[in-house]
Chains A and B, each alone.
Chain A
């Protein structure tokens, strides 16, 4: 039995893609443990395997070999339907491209995961969706369609959708990759707040500055974990935001001042 305080434990997690006759080792025996309450940033150049790892952890893709324990449960032995159930109940996933349903209001988008919950764990889906949107600060945008919202607002709808099922872990694959600096800092501020409230977060980013908002950095290269360390001087997104707004200046200056 794995320690339940470890939300994620991987053992020799490996992913091999067959591209024609060439076998590409995207992940090579990854051993990673994430404890409850951590805020982990996975970094690395493109092609380092960070997104592949993220898809494995998010149960969007299945590893070639190795074990993955989520909340103490080995998910590799599960069938397709159980995988869907894990995605629905244990994981909240936030994508770089938001991935909201077009022509569907913010509120309906947030309610969507609850529709696929066979056990109706959340008793009042409508209410839950509203409070999730309130939590990300979009009380007044609930009935807007995605194309009526800014990028930052769309991403916050996506975060609300990820949170509405009360998952064990929030996963984000380059959540600010499509956003400008101000919106990015706002998203990280939200992440830090959520993390302080007890939500475990694993995110992928390729910007070192943004990784510093996390509590721990896992650096990947060529399918391996190259470095894994706890951040000593953690940045405070809220403080950066205040400063950014006060100066009206570019983010680089803020980073320089720190």
Chain B
């Protein structure tokens, strides 16, 4: 054991005596390790960001779109487009046992005038449950009531962006705004929700009772979609099945007819988004992994040069009784120490870079301990793997040939 310690000491001394060479050797590993960690951190950061954004839609959210009705797989064409009415939403709310909140969504848009300025935005007609569904709290005021929905009351709840544009720096509740020339009274302002997964501003929106938007702004009877919230995450599938059978009955579909609507849920959207970013993480990691291997080859190159350069030294050591194994251990520990050193510096560099990315750019990075340990272990293996060949080459030299080498 003492002998091994001494051999490692020899390796360390040789590294210390050739600082520049050692640094250059480690550089490949430093870059490789930090690239792997930073790339994976960026990937995982964006994954976390996407998951967060999807979660901001509201948990356990089920989205139901109307679709083209088909009969026995044959599309019935454009005229057969089956739209939802407020009745569909009401039926789900009344009959479904696994659904907690239901809201129809009526989309409209247009010019909004208020506070002496104007803004073009989206106006969504919803039910009071919508805000529970989206887990969206109020900054000012209050939400409209079921009664307001029944009487088509002209009240509006503003998204943060709208409130800031029309009434900067003040509480706009009680103010009157005109949406497409129809006056609405502002009764509340929502908290900021930020951008969604697609990057559009979720706060650039006005909410009003569904009936108000439907009858007073659009003057029609069809709603655009229905949002529903399952009672719990593990009841999602059951809730979807329930909604499906309620809607099939409401639309009087026979057995064998295809659904004339589409049901998707939160988990599906989340899965898709995180699948995409997982693929990206893998891709980035693979590219960075290649650079780590290139770094390893760099170590092998320098070690091979070092073996050639130090052939005489090896000869001297062999001539005074070093065994092939002693030389092997010496050169191998040099390679391993260099790559582990590179690994540590690489990790520190990665922490620094990801700190900079987090603080000064839009990118978000998440460094998981697992990837740090993996990168470190990998850099050690790179040292052993790429150090072994030069070390063995050195160890198998014939003492007299090594001594004669000029």
Binding site for B on A (CB under 8 A): 55, 58, 60-61, 80-81, 84-85, 87-89, 93, 95, 99-101, 103, 112-113, 115-118, 120, 161, 165
Rounded to whole angstroms, the CA-CA distance of A103 and B319 in the bound complex is 19
Give Cα distance in the complex from A99 to B325, angstroms: 21
* A81 B324 Cβ-Cβ under 8 A: yes
Residue B348 interfacial (CB < 8 Å): no
B264 to chain A, nearest CB (A): 71
- Chain A residues with Cβ under 8 A from B323's Cβ? 80-81, 84-85, 116
Interface string of B1-29 (1 = CB under 8 A from A): 01100110010000001000000000000
Interface size class of chain B, counting residues whose CB lies under 8 Å from the partner chain: 20 to 34
Given A81-B324, A115-B7, 8 extra CB contacts under 8 A: A60-B403, A61-B399, A84-B323, A84-B324, A99-B316, A103-B17, A116-B317, A116-B320
* Interface hits, B219-233 → A, CB 8 Å: none
Asked if A60 and B316 make an inter-chain contact with CB atoms under 8 angstroms apart, the answer reads: no
Q: Are B320 and A113 touching (Cβ within 8 A)?
A: yes
Known interface pairs A103-B17, A116-B326. Does A84 touch B313 (Cβ–Cβ under 8 Å)? no
Q: Which 7 A-B pairs have the closest CB atoms?
A: A88-B321, A113-B320, A84-B323, A60-B400, A87-B321, A116-B321, A61-B400
Q: Which residue of A lies closest to B6 (CB)?
A: A115
| Contacting residues, chain B, for A93 (C-beta < 8 A) | 319-320
A115/B3 in contact, CB under 8 A: yes
Of all chain B residues, which has the CB nearest A108? Answer: B13
23 interchain pairs, CB-CB under 8 A:
A55-B400, A58-B319, A61-B398, A81-B325, A84-B321, A85-B323, A87-B319, A87-B320, A88-B320, A88-B321, A89-B321, A95-B403, A99-B315, A99-B319, A99-B403, A100-B316, A101-B316, A112-B317, A115-B6, A116-B320, A116-B323, A117-B321, A118-B3
Contact A84/B6 with A60-B400, A95-B403, A116-B323 known, Cβ cut-off 8 Å: no
Chain B residue numbers with a CB within 8 Å of A95 are 319, 403
Give the A-binding residues of B (Cβ under 8 A). 2-3, 6-7, 10, 17, 312-313, 315-326, 398-400, 403
A112 touching B403, Cβ below 8 Å: no
Q: How far is it, in angstroms, between the C-alpha of A160 and the C-alpha of B312 when the chains are bound?
A: 20
C-alpha gap A61/B398 in the complex (Å): 8
Instruction: Give the residues in chain A near B326, CB-CB below 8 Å.
Output: 116
Cross-chain contact of A84 among B17, B318, B403 (Cβ < 8 A)? B318
Residues on B with C-beta less than 8 A from A103 are: 17
A84 CA to B398 CA, complexed, in Å: 11
Chain B residues positioned under 8 Å from A117 (CB to CB): 321
- Tell me, rounded to whole Å, the shortest Cβ–Cβ distance linking B146 to chain A: 88
B324 near A80: Cβ-Cβ < 8 Å: yes
Q: State the Cβ distance, A19 to closest chain B Cβ, in Å.
A: 14
Contacts of A89 in B (CB 8 A): 321
Pick the most buried of A112, A120, A161, A165: most chain B CB atoms within 10 A of its CB: A112
Chain A residues within 8 Å of B7, by CB = 115
Shortest CB distance A68–B (Å): 15
Given that A99-B312, A99-B403, A115-B3 are known contacts, is A60 also in contact with B320, CB under 8 Å in the complex? no
- List chain B residues, Cβ under 8 A from A58: 319
Specify which chain B residues have a CB less than 8 angstroms from the CB of A84 in the assembled complex.
318, 321-324
Contact residues in A for B312 (Cβ distance below 8 Å): 99
Distance to closest chain B CB from A73 (angstroms): 16
B396 to chain A, nearest CB (A): 9
Q: Chain A residues near B398: list those with CB within 8 A.
A: 61
A100 CA to B343 CA in the complex, in Å?
Answer: 34
| Of the residues A80, A120, A161, contact of B320 by C-beta under 8 Å | A161
User: Residue of B at shortest CB range from A95?
Assistant: B403
Nearest CB on B from A113, distance (A) = 4
Contacts of A116 in B (CB 8 A): 3, 317, 320-323, 326
- Select one of B10, B316, B321 contacting A85, CB under 8 A: B321
Shortest C-beta distance, B15 to chain A (Å), equals 12
Q: With a CB–CB cut-off of 8 A, which chain A residues contact B316? A: 99-101
Nearest CB in chain B to that of A162: its residue: B320
List chain B residues, Cβ under 8 A from A87: 318-321, 399
